[in-house]
Amino acid sequence: MKKYIFIFKTTIMDSLQYIMNIILGFVTYILIIFIFLNLWQYIYTDPEKLINGYSLQQMIWYVILTETIWFGTRNGAIISQISNDIKSGAIAYVINKPYHYVIYMIVRNLGEIAIKFFLYLCAGLTLGYIWVGRIPEFNPIYIPLIIMILISATLINNFLTMSISLLSFWIEDAAPFHWIYVKILLILGILFPVEMFPVWAQPIIRSSPIYVITYGPVKLIISFSREIFTSVLLAQVIYLLGSFLLLMGLYQKGVKKINVNGG
């Protein structure tokens, strides 16, 4: 365990070199939030009105928080590194150390997004407070539970994206699959809450990873209830186990296919 904590610490030290890159990423983040702020203000002609159970304030906070999760936890560098390492055979030089490669990459990923997520969270909370005021109905007592749910959400997202990268053991390029995954997450889980979609689509979205990665955790922040918490927690446990087993299974099968040419 100690070695993985050290890997986490080392990755944070390494990622501190990229602070300026993270800050430059704020431009797109703020722009998207600004567009949705104006869009929802236009749609909500009466600020007191509720649309599908959401007030204007809740809707804006929903977008800000899902955007924060999306921007703060996405890690293209690690994801493409896994694919590239497999394709180029460079994975061979990483797996010959006394750690489990998959856990090593999970911890590195967490280390890389830790600082980024914290910075985006600070920026998101500040922007939200300036533009629409504090989060309605938010009770700080729930913070530990929300942190737990957010960590699980990040892990599930990690496991799924890493599983997609591991497909490179069998296919030439996993990038199109990443593209599809990210776009589905963006459209169905980030820009609009599930309640905004047609009734027939809602059960599908609620049973998809979107529910446990973006919608569920954010719903808990903007209107916490014991029922939603239990439902999200249960779904997260299932997804955590399922995605972890998928990831490990793919690795165990794929690692035997390592083909290192050259040298």
Rule CB under 8 A: which residues touch another protein? 2-3, 6-7, 10, 13-14, 17, 90, 92-93, 95-100, 256, 258-263
Rounded CA separation 97/185 (Å): 34
**Number of helices and strands in the chain (H, E):** 11, 0
Least distance between another protein and beta carbon 166 (Å)? 17
The residue (of 34 and 93) whose beta carbon lies closer to another protein is 93
Residues 6+ apart with CB under 8 A from 12: 111, 114, 115
Beta bridge partners of 260: none
Contact 191, 36 (CB under 8 A): yes
Least distance between another protein and beta carbon 256 (Å)? 6
The residue (of 139 and 261) whose beta carbon lies closer to another protein is 261
Secondary structure (3-state) at 93: helix
The residue (of 103 and 233) whose beta carbon lies closer to another protein is 103
Least distance between another protein and beta carbon 98 (Å)? 4
Secondary structure (3-state) at 51: strand
The residue (of 136 and 176) whose beta carbon lies closer to another protein is 176
Least distance between another protein and beta carbon 17 (Å)? 4
